Structure 1
Amino acid sequence: MSVVSRLIHDLEDSISRGPQDKRVENLRRVTDLFLRDSEALTEEQIDLFDVVIARLAAAIETRARVELADRLADVGNAPRGIIRSLAHDEIAVARPVLARSPRLSDEDLVSVAMAKGRDHMLAITERPVLTETVTDVLVRRGDRVVVHAMAGNPGARFSQGSMATLVDRSKIDDALQALLGQRVDVPEAQLSQLVEIAKETARRRLSETMPSQDRPAIDVAVARSATQLAAAVVPGRRDYSSALGLVSGMVARKPLAEAELAAFAGANQFEETVCAIAYMTGLTVPAIERLFKEPDAELLLVVSRAMGWGWPTVRALLALRGPEASQPHLLKRAHDTFEGLSAATAQRVVQFLKVREATQKKGYETAASRQVRSNVR
């Protein structure tokens, strides 16, 4: 038997026959011994420490178990049995190991999350890394506080299903919206959805708090704020706030004409061009932006035909899709397609796009209404 093993066995024998008030002192001695030699210990020796420490910890007061948990929480080869036991203890004891111990596996953490309540789950959310296995359970079982803590942890990883659940919860939780907006792993489509919900929530609040305010002015202010937010949180998203301010000012004086649109496009003013088309067609800025990002230009040609714009204007718009769009053979193909489009058919397509956007907007408005009511309560 090694020196360490003999010491442990001798100490255990002494403890079993010693007075109860010596247990805490003996626990500290055993823990000191373990921490002093932990890096040199074999798994067999660690298992021996596990048995002894567990016996001592089973009959000591909470304060001493808290001390034990804190001392063992950061040890890479701490005895697994006692770490698991401490993780299932009352929260004051469990917190250090749940938040810090590398000896707890995903299965251990899931077991605690399934068996315990909010406080234990909150402690788990403090870990520097949370895998999808763990967050799936926390998203399913956790309340608002737990979900917020996870969303605010940059080391937490979420499955597609859990992320969809978080986004859905955020429809009535603007604090969760803000936390998700700061993450780098939210899919772009869901980030865009968050922005739209936030926009409608802001619009509803402004309308309710300033009923006499001019509705178009509210719409412009909210749209400008939303595009700034989208540019900040959605990768690759452009900031249209300045362009919206310019174009809305022009529209306030008189309706936009094709010549003004052509001037924006001819000057390579992409944001102003997109905003101008949005105002002229009644579609949203994101919808118009997609016309320039689609693999082919067909939908942009359809919208142009529906609006009755001439080929010179359309050609200037196509140039904003990138250098390839201006190649002679592609321009000829686009011209032939454009000339062959029926204006009536093109207008029906644009009307369909408007209906689809109105349906989406209604969903965002419903979510915003739920959020405002939730905040009032």
Structure 2
Amino acid sequence: MIISPSLIPELDDIISRGDPQRRADAARRISELFLQGAASFRSDHVELFDGVLTSLVPHAEIEARADLAERLSMLANAPRGLVGQLAHEDEIAIAGPLLRRSPVIDEKMLIEIASVKGQDHLLAMAERPTLSTDLTDVLVDRGERDVVRRAAGNAGAAFSSTSYSTLIKRAGQDGILTIRLGQRDDLSSDHLKELLSGSIDVVRRRLFQVVKPERQADIKQAMAVINAPSEREERRDFLPAQRTVLKLHREGMLGEAALLNFARAFKYEEAVAALSALTGVKIETLDRLISGDRYDPILIAGKTIDLEWATVRALILLRLGPNRTASPADIENARVNYARLMPTTAQRVVEFWKTR
């Protein structure tokens, strides 16, 4: 195919010596010519346009390049060099449409761009109809919250075991990510159990409501395993912890600082034994209350002995265990409730606990 001399009468001169405005005008006219006839062009025709446009298009205005990128993103025979050039642009209005759906961009280029560009480019890629494990490894490694959420919600995305583990860890502080991961058909039973173990009750309930019936059965089964007492819990021995706490008491060192240290070190038995000594509530009662589904008993016990919020927070995290994290919203909700809780109300509840 030959580009009509009547359309661009001095094309060679424009490419080699033309000013930016003449080049931009030529880019607009030749782009339009290509888009009008793209459906009927052979590969050699497309290559001809590619060579010309890659020299001219960079001189076009941003709006013109963005419009061209949008239209090229729909074409299976779009000029590869031009598409790659536009997809590498920093302006997301230009690169975005191509990164989202262009069938011309190959895997190697996507990974290259994902490795160096910013979050907007990663977010656009996360919407592609299919995402390979090699590409999602980069998205998960470099992507911030919105990127991983969008990738996790993409049914056409595939994730490696390593990326799934990373996503599940991040989901411990992100309820939306938890729900999107939980709805994935390719999530294994082990990964589902790991996901649920790191989530809070309200997120679990929401996930159960939105998943397919067959996944609901998987969730019930996973929760049964999670909630089943472990051998360690069945054999929980508080005697060594009581001896430690008694020694601190004799030395005059049993107080809030010791309790905080136990909680931060995830020494559950020692923390419960210390809280028991400070509140007068039996260890067995506190153990049963604290290991339940709610953090309210910790707020109540803490209020009766006027614990600082930092100590109460550490006890809440201790309740979850070292492998689970609470969302910032849940922690803030607990802080507000602790501040509002009246000492007299807390004391009445504790007195009831002592009679049990």
Asked if TM exceeds 0.5, the reply is: yes
1:59 to partner: Cα distance: 1.4
Corresponding position of 1:150: 151
Moved more, 353-362 or 90-99: 353-362
TM norm structure 2: 0.60
Relative to structure 1, is the Cα distance of residues 115 and 356 closer, same or farther in structure 2, using a 3 angstrom cutoff? farther
Corresponding position of 1:372: 327
Q: Secondary structure at the match of 2:321?
A: helix
The residue correspondences of 1:177-192 to structure 2 (distance < 5 A) are 177-192=178-193
Moved more, 356-365 or 39-48: 356-365
Distance 1:227 1:113 in 2: 30
Distance 1:170 1:41 in 2: 48
Corresponding position of 1:165: 166
Distance 1:35 1:357 in 2: 73
**Structure 1 residue 285 and structure 2 residue 164: aligned?**
no
Distance 2:230 2:71 in 1: 68
- Tell me, yes or no, if the aligned pair for 2:193 and 2:226 is still in contact at 8 Å: no
- Tell me, yes or no, if the aligned pair for 1:171 and 1:371 is still in contact at 8 Å: yes
Can you list the C-alpha shifts for 1:63-102, whole angstroms capped at 9, x where unaligned?
Answer: 1111111121111011111111111112111111111110
Distance 1:75 1:134 in 2: 22
The one of the two structures with greater contact order (alpha-carbon pairs below 8 A, sep at least 6) is 1
- Tell me, yes or no, if the aligned pair for 2:131 and 2:156 is still in contact at 8 Å: yes
Distance 1:33 1:129 in 2: 31
Q: Percent sequence identity over matched residues?
A: 33
Corresponding position of 2:81: 81
Show structure 2 runs of 5+ residues with no match.
238-267, 269-290, 293-316, 333-356
Relative to structure 1, is the Cα distance of residues 239 and 64 closer, same or farther in structure 2, using a 3 angstrom cutoff? closer
Count of equivalent residues: 253
1:56 to partner: Cα distance: 1.2
> Comparing both structures, which one devotes a greater share of its residues to helix?
1
- Tell me, yes or no, if the aligned pair for 2:172 and 2:324 is still in contact at 8 Å: no
Corresponding position of 1:352: 231
TM norm structure 1: 0.57
Q: Secondary structure at the match of 1:3?
A: coil
The residue correspondences of 1:247-326 to structure 2 (distance < 5 A) are 285-286=224-225
1:33 to partner: Cα distance: 1.9
Relative to structure 1, is the Cα distance of residues 7 and 154 closer, same or farther in structure 2, using a 3 angstrom cutoff? farther
Corresponding position of 1:175: 176
Distance 1:106 1:187 in 2: 26
Aligned amino acid, residue 11 of structure 2? E
Q: CA RMSD in A?
A: 4.0
Distance 1:178 1:97 in 2: 29
**Structure 1 residue 237 and structure 2 residue 236: aligned?**
no
Can you list the C-alpha shifts for 1:13-56, whole angstroms capped at 9, x where unaligned?
Answer: 26346564343432232122222332333333222211211111
- Tell me, yes or no, if the aligned pair for 1:172 and 1:374 is still in contact at 8 Å: no
Instruction: Please identify runs of 4+ aligned residues in structure 1 that moved more than 6 A.
Output: 5-9, 356-364
